[in-house]
A and B are shown apart, each in its own frame.
Chain A
Amino acid sequence: MTQGLAVEQLSFAYAAEGRPALADVSLSVEPGEVLAVVGPSGSGKSTLLRLVAGLLTPTSGTVRLGGVDVTGSSPERRPVGMVFQGFALFPHLSVAANVGFGLTVRRTPRADRDRRVAEVAGRLGIGHLLERRPGQLSGGERQRVALARALLREPVAFLLDEPLSALDPVLRTAARRDLDEVLRADGRCALHVTHDQVEAMTLGDRVALLREGRLEQVGTPRELYDSPATTYVATFVGTHAMSLLSPAEAGVGVPAGIATVGVRAEHVTLAAGDDAEVVAVEDLGHERVAELALPTGTRLRVRVDRDDLRRGDRTGFLVREHTCFDAGGARVP
């Protein structure tokens, strides 16, 4: 049993909805590990986070933190530090009062509170900001304050609810690095919920992909990219979604029972021929990706080296590597 975070067969249904928001999800996060939970909106990722935090009570299943079953515990009794969207802070309270909020409401003596707030603020380099209000802070400073508040509880696990989604792209990259640094210190673990697969792949040691309340796949970013468990994962992960073709369209020989083959853009080579039409060329600077329309209408994305390819050109292609899926969309090894 892990000393980090573990959920077992966790299910939850909102009273107003028929379909469960989360169904039979089992996951574990080891100390020192960051698990990124990714999925489109409505996939149940926020619900999962709130179940771990204790803001929601599961219909069935268990939540363990540091090896202790906390399924029935109230939020403040769970060793978690939560960071909300946009690094939410109380706008009417000073930085010190924000960081020490939990100690204040639990009536910790003032001297003790001040000492612990100063200590954690020092660790995150925000000691000089304690008297300010959140409105006077930069994006990076807000992040540090939100993290300081979460860290003050000496949590077993950090729970991050899309904290970066409200930041602009330049700030995001810097914030992502800072976040990563804090998260991995002291052997705590983190559950980082995001709808952005790039963020999930960069920040997570492992990535869990949720779809309609069910776990589609858990694995390292590499595993998800190279060996997607389902066609859904194949199209969700990666800057360019995997193209899904029938074996005949791809021109590859496959064993019986294979309905679909998935092809990454970098695993296709252009060849002599005229079966496919170039319908779009995207130049991203470091690479160029063309979208081909096959005679059947199916689209295939191809990484190209030539810079003379134009929309409307006709070309042949050769699939060098492919992944096989059965009729249900599951990968066949």
Chain B
Amino acid sequence: MRSRYRRGTLLLGAPFALGALLLVVGPAVVTAGYAFTSYDGLSPAEWNGLQTFRDVLADPELHASLRSTGVFLALAVPVRVLGGLLLALLAQSGRLSGATRTAVFAPAVLPDPATALIWLWVVNPLYGPLGLVLDGPVLVDRWGARLTVVALSVFALGEGFLVTLAARRELPPELDELARVEGASAWQRLRRVTLPLLAPVLLLLAARDVLASMTMALVPTLLLTRGGPLDATKTLPLLVYERGFREGELGEGAALAVLTLLLGLAAFAVALLAVRLLRPRH
């Protein structure tokens, strides 16, 4: 019975596994291989050992990019997770109409390039609403450009909002009543009951958000700022793209991609560890 069940599972999973193998795992392995070569896509790849990694690690452009990515993650992830939390708490207490909830979630279904184009209009110094209010070009300023990219990505908090709301609804209502009977103020109930109980979900969301941000950081920086000004918004995925495809340094691009992946996984692992430490022990 059990083995039949397992065989069925394998059979059902096979097409997906095959697709993943051919389209994700395979190319990823090949890419990782290129990271140890010098390769421009035209002449044959030459084995380079760790030299490619040494080159990119010494590259000031990588350092600038790590800074940009760090700034982006440090601002975008907390704002998105906490924004989703705030909206979920408002929705739970019935202070968010159905229309508002839809509006919160709507940008999550908009394709990234479309969002980028909307923002290109928003910050346009001649006719964009934000550009007019700020009275000047936003994207030529380092922090102006960075904050614009962050602001743009914050509108994708719909998913985190839904997950947080679902988690909040799962909390037993007695616990809130219990805290009220014991004299806890609204703030104390939030800090001592709701937040600790939601913490594992929030951390998991943050971990997922770090990984998602790595990909999310490509389109707006590519279409909106092209990494500028002065590499202030040149995030890691954008650097990978430029190095590999625009400059044709596929070997270095691959090495940067491997580094990006490792960094993302490290961030994810740290967040998972935090979730495990914070979960109530049984």
Contact = CB atoms under 8 A, between A and B. Distances in A.
A91 B196 CA distance: 10
A101 B175 contact: no
Contacts of A106: 183
Contacts of A104: 192
Contact of B183 (A75, A84, A136, A149): A75
Contacts, number: 62
A105 interface: yes
B51 interface: no
B182 A105 contact: yes
B93 interface: no
Contacts of B193: 90
Contacts of B192: 101, 104-105
Interface in A121-135: 133, 135
Nearest to A103: B182
A24 to B, nearest CB: 25
Interface residues of B, number: 20
B178 interface: yes
A92 B2 CA distance: 37
Given A135-B281, A135-B282, A136-B281, A101 B177 contact: no
Contact of A53 (B181, B184, B197): B181
B183 A76 contact: yes
A88 interface: yes
Interface string A91-127: 1100000000110111000000000000000000000
Given A84-B178, A85-B174, A92 B280 contact: yes
Contacts of A102: 182-183
Closest 9 CB pairs of A and B: A76-B183, A102-B182, A135-B282, A88-B174, A84-B174, A105-B184, A92-B280, A92-B196, A91-B280
B179 interface: yes
A55 B183 contact: no
Given A92-B197, A135-B282, A76 B182 contact: yes
B182 A55 contact: no
B172 interface: yes
A149 B184 CA distance: 14
